[in-house]
Structure 1
Amino acid sequence: MKALELSFKGSDLRIKHLRLKYVNTELTTPEVESLMKQIAAAKLFNKDGVDLYATPVRADIIETTKTTLMGDPAPIA
Structure 2
Amino acid sequence: MKALNMVFKNALGARQTLKVSYINADELDADTLREKMEAIGQSGVFTKDGLPMYTTPISASYVDTQEHVVYDATQE
TM-score, structure 2 normalization: 0.86
Q: Alpha carbon RMSD of aligned pairs, Å?
A: 1.7
Instruction: Give every structure 1 segment of 4 or more consecutive aligned residues whose post-TM-superposition deviation is greater than 6 Å.
Output: none
The Cα offsets for residues 56-76 of structure 1, whole Å up to 9 and x where unpaired, read as 0110101111112234777xx
Residue in 1 that maps onto 2:22: 22
Unaligned runs of 5+ in 2: none
SS in 2 for 1:61: strand
Of Structure 1 and Structure 2, which has the larger fraction of its residues in helix?
2
| C-alpha separation in 1, matches of 2:38 and 2:47 | 16
Deviation at 1:28, TM superposition (A): 0.6
Residue in 2 that maps onto 1:49: 50
| C-alpha separation in 2, matches of 1:47 and 1:72 | 42
Instruction: Answer yes or no: is the 8 Å Cα contact 2:2–2:24 preserved in 1.
Output: no
| C-alpha separation in 2, matches of 1:47 and 1:68 | 37
TM-score, structure 1 normalization: 0.85
Deviation at 1:43, TM superposition (A): 0.7
- Aligned-residue identity in percent: 28
Aligned residues: 74
| C-alpha separation in 2, matches of 1:73 and 1:29 | 42
